Structure 1
Amino acid sequence: MHVAFLTPEYPHPELKGSAGLGTSIKNLAAGLIAKEIQVTVFVYDQQKDVVFNHHGITIHSIAKRKFKLGGWYLYRNFLQRYVNKFITQNGIHVLEAPDWTGITAFMSFKCPLIIRLHGSDGYFCNLENRPQKTKNRLFEESALRRADYILSVSQFCADLTDKIFNLKRDIKVIPNGVDTAAFTPEKESEVDFQLLYFGSIIRKKGVLELAKIMNLVFKNEPKTHLVLAGADVKDIFTQRSTQDLFLEEVEPQFHKLIFFKGGLLYNEIKAEIAKASVVVLPSFAEALPMTWLEAMAMQKALVTSNIGWAKEVMIDEQTGFTVDPKNHEKYAHRILELLSNSALREKMGAAARRHVDSKFALEHVVDQNILFYKKVIAD
């Protein structure tokens, strides 16, 4: 079997920055290779054209092309020709693409196309209660309707996407998988009273609510400090740095307790998770977050949001706490409860690891995907 992925991101030093989407594809690709399944990854919108092999995975870095007119169509047409060439030459059996901005709209491929729902622009606009650009809506709806099959990383994402686009299609749910051999507990690295947020510094991830929450935490436990690991993103509403907006919400006397690390490499993120006493992830908009799974796999107690997908990942009061991020007092109370009780942290962290092992471990998720790919090819 030969499986290919078309994606705007993939974590590798030769490519542009990557987030949760790229990590989930990398994990799945590595798991497929371990099962002796051939994998090719086409990464578009890159800075240069180059083909290379990384841990048995063939990676095509495809540079973004500029056109005077109709670039949205001409670049898609170029990608279609490029990918179809290798589908034919290399015997690719199935191609998978994400839903984000509908890259496969108006494309036709020489093998079955699966779109996996990681959260489209329409999905996130709905969660953030803001209008979607007409162009993005057109592309995403077209791509979803033209796909041969649709997968989703969570039932919540599947149901909401089906409702937004009125698809009325069967959507198979297979969660993201985390490499539990790579993300393992490192208790000896833990730093007392250190909180960690990791992910993009962006409004939809709840960071502005976290700023207000931290005012309450710092007042009640002055030894606490917060590390934020992730790239700063221009705020969609104010067009300002979200990091600056965060600091404006935090009382000035507490600024010395906050440390921004910026975007970090894979191993650097693992090191920061290992140091954390508690991981705080108050996101308003996810499909099925890799950050949550990685922290849980490293046996960390979490305080997360309680929205939609959260019930498919977390078990409240067992693997950590799930709280509405707008309830600043309760969210801060849960953080302080964990900071003050190491036995509770260890108990919840161990439960989080067991939950990941049973439901999200990469080997289980890879097997589910292989069965699905085999069905697609047989059909």
Structure 2
Amino acid sequence: MLQRPIAKAQAPRVLMVGTALEGRGGVAAVVSVLRRHGLFERERVRYVATHAEGSRGAKLKSALSGLSATVRICLGQRPAVVHAHASSHASFLRKSALLLIARLAGCNTIFHLHGGGFRKYATEEAGPVLRRWIGHTLARSSVVITLSEGWADFVQAFAPSSHVAVVPNSVPLPALADPALAQPQRVLYLGRLEAAKGVFELLAAGAQLAPRFPLLRLVFGGEGDAQALRRRATELGLDERIELPGWLGARERDAELAKAELFCLPSHAEGLPMSMLEAMAARKAVVVTEVGAVPEAVRDGDNGLLVPPRDAQALAGALAQVMMDPALRERLAGCARATIERHYSTEVVCGQLSTIYRELAGVGR
């Protein structure tokens, strides 16, 4: 009996490179959402990790392995598009080198910009040679994807010949939790436990609010300098008011969102934070700082409240306003969910990426 030959695996149309998907950062969350929604299968995407969390040795091993795989795929399988998720510093250097290899192999390239610190990195921290290389990388990319119009304007000004497309981060729309699960005056933060995320301003705001709100709880979900946060909470008399559950997986995150009365992210700088979008998708009122792409997603007084960064007093005032006014809280939460449905759903964003891929690859939809 003759056996049918085993079909050779199709070469990828798109090679996507970024951080390991089992990681705990925003890029891993973004890409994982796209994969779960079927983008990889629909557009023949192959994913290569070029960064992993862990020791310096583990990071070096991941970088070298990712470099080797990228070279092998670009030269051997010639994907039409190489799509790199990048931010600043080492992430930019790794991805810019990989995109150079991809261009030399004749591939179209996408530089997908994440991270709120890129403007400072490109304009202040980088020396003249590195600034020229950043501009060259942006200009030579087939497409630069930014998360917002504001970031698109920056890229266009920094590298005028670059071709920019705005594609926001996306989140799935979860089933809504029972409103009865929400605990009064419970404020949830999700992110790194570090000063740049505004966690110490949130503690300072909590100290101002504690005398007026006897049920106040500040929940800090994430990894980082938990000891410094605990020490500062003790100094402010908030020992019994804070919870530090550590990093939260998807199930634990959803449980904490269900219990929270509102969500707060008082960062000093941001791109388009996934944790904020997840909170909005979960139909929570959000109090966030007016940094990065946040003001393009959150309209003050409509689907959330915006406050200046590094301003604990303004933060305390906004948190108090939401906690004291159930009608306001309900309106903000409802509009937040509607915003995600209209502009940030996975269906919408995957469609935008598919269009870019197919235009670069010269194939029809």
Quote the Cα distance in structure 2 between the aligned partners of 1:317 and 1:184.
Answer: 22
Q: Give the TM-score of the pair, scaled to structure 2.
A: 0.82
For 2:95, the equivalent position in structure 1 comes to: 104
Aligned residue for 1:25? 31
Give structure 2 stretches of 5+ with no counterpart: 1-11
Q: Distance between the aligned counterparts of 1:275 and 1:138, measured in 2?
A: 48
Is residue 227 of structure 2 the alignment partner of residue 221 of structure 1?
no
Give the RMSD, CA atoms, in angstroms: 3.1
Partner of 2:303: 319
- Name 2:71's counterpart in structure 1: 84
1:363 paired with 2:357, answer no
Please state how far the C-alpha of 1:250 moved relative to its aligned partner: 6.2
The corresponding residue for 2:166 is: 173
Matched, 1:209 2:201: yes
Superposition pairs for residues 128-207 of structure 1, below 5 Å?
A: 131-132=125-126, 140-163=134-157, 165-180=158-173, 182=174, 184-207=176-199
- Are residue 95 (structure 1) and residue 86 (structure 2) matched? no
Provide Cα deviations, 1:248-283, integer angstroms capped at 9, x if missing partner: 266442221111111121221111111100111111
Higher helix proportion: 2
- With 253-262 and 87-96 compared, the bigger mean Cα shift is at 87-96
Q: What residue is the counterpart of 2:264 in the other structure? A: 280
| CA displacement at 1:142 relative to structure 2 | 4.9
Ranges in structure 1 where 5+ consecutive residues have no aligned partner: 49-61, 233-240
Q: Which moved more, 1:22-31 or 1:351-360?
A: 22-31
Contact (CA 8 Å) 1:227, 1:260: kept in 2 or not? yes
1:328-339 equivalences under 5 Å are 328-339=312-323
Could you say what secondary structure the match of 2:192 adopts?
coil
Q: Deviation at 1:336?
A: 1.5
| Secondary structure of 1:279 counterpart | strand
SS in 2 for 1:104: helix
Alignment partner of 1:256 is 2:240: yes
Identical residues among aligned pairs (%): 24
User: Which residue is 1:3 aligned to?
Assistant: 14
Distance 1:210 1:250, change over 3 A: farther
Q: Is the 8 A contact 1:201 1:207 kept in 2?
A: yes
Tell me how far 1:63 sits from its aligned partner.
Answer: 6.1
Q: CA separation in 2, counterparts of 1:183 and 1:365?
A: 19
Q: Check whether the contact 1:210–1:325 (CA below 8 A) recurs between aligned residues.
A: no
Q: How many residues align?
A: 341
- Partners in 2 of 1:113 and 1:308 — Cα distance? 25
The alignment's TM-score, normalised by the length of structure 1, stands at 0.80
Q: Residue 268 in 1 paired to residue 252 in 2?
A: yes
